[in-house]
Amino acid sequence: MRKTVAILIMAFVLICCVSFSSYAAGLPEEEEVTTEHAETTEYPDEVTRQPDLVADAAIVMDVATGQVLYEKNAHEQKYPASITKILTVAIALEHGLDFNKTIEMSENSIWSVDRDSSLIGLDVGEQVTLGDLVYATMIKSDNSCAYALAEYVAGNVESFAALMNEKAAALGCKHSHFVTPNGLPDEDHYTTAYDMALITRYALQNETFRQVAGTLSYTVPATNLTDETRPLWNGNKMINPSEPYYYEYCEGGKTGYTMTSNNTLVTFSKKDGLELICVILDCDGSRYAYTDSRALYNYCYNNYTYFYPLSDFNFSPTGEYTEDTNVMLDNYYASLNHDMVDLQVDNSYVLLVNKSMDTTKIEHSIILYDEPQENTIGEIQLLYEGEQLGSTPITTTTPHLSSKMELGIEERKNDSVFQTIGKIVIRILIVVAALSIVLLLYGFLSTLIRNTKNNKRRRRYSPPQQRRRRRDDDYYL
């Protein structure tokens, strides 16, 4: 009986397998069921072709200029997860932290954080330095340490969140809102790839941030509650030479992950002097966050380079741009009482250009302000085929030049007024003179005509003898 049942079960399973195989084989090719995951795709034979990404949103931004080299859904709101800590640490460093100062972990910093999230095992009342908090926040992504930093800087998390949103707005972030210092899930805690690039660009202005974000390992020493040290390793595999996703030009960054955010990653890299920020959001799989980043870096480094259009520019009479300089000086500084204005321009001003661009066609145009702005008197605009690529100010170190220029402008305005009044007076005098001449001519002609008529009248009524005598007298004269 048991053998019969076993045989029947085996036969049923075999029939089901055969039927399913036949059904699957009978499906059209485009309808075949597959579990294959999308992959990052690069095109090495087509250097100018952008890679295909797994991430739903991404951006690459140049650190020096803020120029965007690549973007995909860059302004679409996403959950950032732990890359939030970039802003947290940047704000904390902005407040001049003493890394050697010791603080105690509060009850809120320990118990207000999900115990299943990223932690290094600190406890209430445990004493650590501010330096330990910063490194643990960035390297190990400890959520309690980020919370403790927020408390130290602002007193509580709510006040710190206000600082975060204020800073983000000041940096130009228009689609972000922050609630927590660690990025743990919250519906009102969101950002965009573009906004995170702006935040990271700001953070990179701080050398301490650069150092912390690029540190591979750090050890938290023994504390008042434990004799054991806590070695920490950076979760960013792009800076670890022993990892398969190591990227030799990557200098640092921050990882992130929650179930609602998917994988997020912010990195910064430098190659041949070109420093870039890459932001990856909503990526299904940490490995693809790394492969997407590498592909974007390869694409941007293959296609873009820095160009210094004003490296040889100067305002001396022997400079390269003598014609423009002379026109500028003749037309603008003629009213100033000095021999030469000390004009300056940023010779290190840089443009990020596509390698296919003919940089010899980049032109410059000198724009001079009608009124100076402190020590800025104008700007140089860089143009390519009629489109503006960028601009940089023209400044001066000549003492009180602005006031002199303003005085010169007022003097020119006054001179213009006087000249206008003078022209009006001259015109009036000319008109008066012309009228006077006309009246004089009219009076002269009237007198002449009147005298002529009187003479004719007198001759007509004089006696004949008198007229004859006059003729005889005229004859004998």
Q: How far apart are CA 428 and CA 28, in angstroms?
A: 98
The 10s digit of each residue's pLDDT in 287-307 is 999 999 999 999 999 999 998
In angstroms, the CA 477 to CA 475 distance is 6
* pLDDT band per the 50, 70, 90 thresholds, residue 408: very low
The Cα-based distances of 307 to 211, 304, 319 in angstroms read 28, 10, 20
Residue 143, strand partner residues: none
Q: What tokens does 437 get?
A: 């001449």
- What is the architecture, at CATH level 2, of domain 57-304? 3-Layer(aba) Sandwich (3.40)
Confidence at 23, pLDDT banded by 50, 70, 90:
very low
Adjacent-strand bridge partners of 278 = 60, 267
Dig out the tokens for 299 from the structure: 């694409």
Mean pLDDT of 139-166: 97
Query: CA dist 46 to 41, 299, 303, 304, 378, Å?
Result: 12, 10, 11, 15, 42
What CATH number has the domain spanning 322-405? 2.60.410.10
**Predicted confidence (pLDDT) per residue in 195-213, tens digit:** 999 999 999 999 999 999 9
Please tell me the distance from the alpha carbon of residue 333 to that of residue 402, in angstroms, as a whole number. Answer: 12
Give me the pLDDT at residue 333, please. 47
Q: What percent of the chain has pLDDT over 70?
A: 77
Task: Decide which of 117 and 159 is more confident.
Answer: 159
Q: Note whether 178 and 91 are within 8 A (CB).
A: no
Give the percent of the chain with pLDDT over 90: 56
Residue intervals of the chain classified under CATH 2.60.410.10 are 322-405
Distance between CA 397 and CA 328 in Å, rounded? 17
Confidence of residue 465 (pLDDT cuts 50, 70, 90): low
Question: What is the rounded distance in angstroms from the CA atom of residue 202 to the CA atom of residue 63?
Answer: 9
Cβ-based burial of 206 (10 A; exposed 0-12, middle 13-18, buried ≥19): middle
Q: Where exactly does CATH 3.40.710.10 map onto the chain?
A: 57-304
Q: Which letter does DSSP use for residue 268 in this model? A: E
What is residue 434's predicted lDDT score, i.e. its pLDDT? 81
**Residue 5 reports pLDDT greater than 50:** no
Question: Angle between the 85-94 and 157-170 helix axes, to the nearest 10 degrees?
Answer: 90
254/84 Cα distance (integer angstroms) = 9
pLDDT at 376: 85
Q: Are 107 and 125 in contact (CB under 8 A)?
A: no
